[in-house]
Structure 1
């Protein structure tokens, strides 16, 4: 994907940022067409005669490029001729459609995607995307080889919704959406680690779609762990959430559950406590916390003892819950991350 920055600014994440805001109407169409082409490489872009609004934010997370696009209808076509003359055909694009619809045509398939769906297209082969209305998308571009798929398997994967009816898909789609939102905010080592996990998730989702036996893949344990962590996240407020309960709900022994969490370097209970502390920290940072006691917030997120919560909170963040809330009232943006 191209890194040209004609009439673009560099954002906090270091990637080119484009917006039509502030441009006269006579210049917006040409600017928006060039912005889309610069971002997505050698693509023939067709946009309406009148463009009202468009914005593009790009950033890196590890070796992956994250792109958020919001704008007006357009059509993007990548032909064999354009592919032959470009140097960015070694990528696939994984895209989450946040708003609007898009018709994707690749590998003899034509599919209309709707908001909330995730799909993949391959930059190495002809593709066309038609967006008939205002839209919002979040994309990750990653090397084709990262998915570890044969050419025939990759052909079967493109231009089709992935995981929209599976538990794994319902886990992966919001994760990737949030990753694009936060790309560029990670320290280099953290970004590389997050990017590897993202690729593992995409690869496993692709294997599930293709009908592979996930129990035979190297990522099986990681995927099981992620499913359990998602379950924990949905039940953090349940004070009865114990390793025994979690293991029973996932049809495994407590010993197997603990062994899975060795991948995180934490015990199950410690991982639950950290997630609960994070939720309490966010609650204490919000304006809605002014009308709630600290004990009520701790109780809501599964802490049975206010004293235990206060000790754990200060050990994790260096401030007592009251000190954190007071600091948040004066500098809320610094404490809500």
Structure 2
């Protein structure tokens, strides 16, 4: 809690300006009334989510381009007007904010709040990257006052009020989960406001899904890659991560394993003067246990990793022969066969796809 109560009258404004800038983001504060200024701000952290409650006399708050350059991280904020009114301006739009209204704003672009009389408000700040929402959607929402009489806002308001009033009482074990739930709600709020009527696709989900898939591909060799580590990286809850993958016909864990198996199968089939061992290939692509890798590979491709390599070698040998003399090497299949087909991990499920095509 930071308050001007014990600060000398002549220093109150400077103290308040510094307190607000350090607690939220750098900004200018100009009192609007006469007499000594009074203000207080209380702040709690729920993981990466910051929850602040302000109560102050009439003032004007402004965030300028020069002040934006002093911030090291891009933040999104949602304000809840508890008492009093405000005029909010961002992205060329002006909104009259009344008691109970919500406002969404981006701290990387200039904005201002004018409070004509004493007020109180909750401010929720979180890293912008955690939302997974396109910039175009955010720009459609900033500069507007969101009513909470009905719709999604009516459901969101009491949750945010309760969260702000009890933020300091949650145990550390649940704060990150709470932060992930708030991210889910804010992303839904922005998407709903940006695409009223639901006519547009779920761009927020698809954007986040693409980023997660790219993250998986970049980190396949990390044995610690898992749904839990992905949720931590993107600052979302496990529940929301699984929701992002709804409709993808594959779970996050299955996708990680499938992509690892695909890379292993490619490397095992690659021709080289010195072929790496099966265990070294498995380890390079994130498999800790060779036995687990062999079981997973056989379940996906219908053959062991070693058999897969032998079959691909046989396939290459056949491919280098003249067309009218191509037959499978002894021990691979019966004579007279022409081609070998190989499954993808999502096709096999133990089926013998490795067999040569039917004989003439």
Structure 1 length normalisation: TM-score?
Answer: 0.56
Aligned to 1:177: 161
* Matched position secondary structure for 1:55: strand
- Distance in 2 (CA, whole Å) between partners of 1:219 and 1:84 is 27
Residue from 19, 22, 42 that aligns with 1:38: 22
Mark the runs of 5 or more structure 2 residues left unpaired by the alignment.
206-242, 244-360
The 1:37–1:83 alpha-carbon spacing in structure 2 relative to 1, beyond 3 Å, is same
Q: CA deviation at 1:183?
A: 1.3
* Matched position secondary structure for 1:203: helix
Aligned to 1:266: none
* Matched position secondary structure for 2:193: helix
The 1:111–1:215 alpha-carbon spacing in structure 2 relative to 1, beyond 3 Å, is closer
Is the Cα–Cα contact under 8 Å of residues 106 and 128 in structure 1 kept in the other structure? yes
- Distance in 2 (CA, whole Å) between partners of 1:117 and 1:46 is 23
The 1:161–1:167 alpha-carbon spacing in structure 2 relative to 1, beyond 3 Å, is same
Aligned to 1:80: 65
Q: CA deviation at 1:145?
A: 2.0
- Distance in 2 (CA, whole Å) between partners of 1:199 and 1:181 is 18
The 1:126–1:199 alpha-carbon spacing in structure 2 relative to 1, beyond 3 Å, is same
Alignment of 1:41-80 (within 5 A): 41-48=25-32, 50-80=35-65
Is the Cα–Cα contact under 8 Å of residues 104 and 113 in structure 1 kept in the other structure? yes
Alignment of 1:129-208 (within 5 A): 129-208=113-192
Residue 120 of structure 1 pairs with residue 104 of structure 2: yes
Number of aligned residue pairs: 204
Aligned to 1:101: 85
Larger Rg: 2
Is the Cα–Cα contact under 8 Å of residues 121 and 159 in structure 1 kept in the other structure? yes
Mark the runs of 5 or more structure 1 residues left unpaired by the alignment.
1-16, 221-262, 264-337
Aligned to 2:13: 29
String of CA shifts for 1:248-267, please: whole Å, max 9, x gaps: xxxxxxxxxxxxxxx9xxxx
Q: CA deviation at 1:200?
A: 0.8
The 1:69–1:190 alpha-carbon spacing in structure 2 relative to 1, beyond 3 Å, is same
- Distance in 2 (CA, whole Å) between partners of 1:218 and 1:189 is 31
- Distance in 2 (CA, whole Å) between partners of 1:47 and 1:155 is 29
Q: CA deviation at 1:209?
A: 1.1
Alignment of 1:215-234 (within 5 A): none
String of CA shifts for 1:106-134, please: whole Å, max 9, x gaps: 01101110110011111011111111110
Aligned to 1:92: 76
Is the Cα–Cα contact under 8 Å of residues 163 and 205 in structure 1 kept in the other structure? no
Q: CA deviation at 1:139?
A: 0.9
Q: CA deviation at 1:217?
A: 5.4
Alignment of 1:288-307 (within 5 A): none
* Deviation larger for 101-110 or 162-171: 162-171
Is the Cα–Cα contact under 8 Å of residues 64 and 195 in structure 1 kept in the other structure? yes
- Distance in 2 (CA, whole Å) between partners of 1:165 and 1:111 is 17
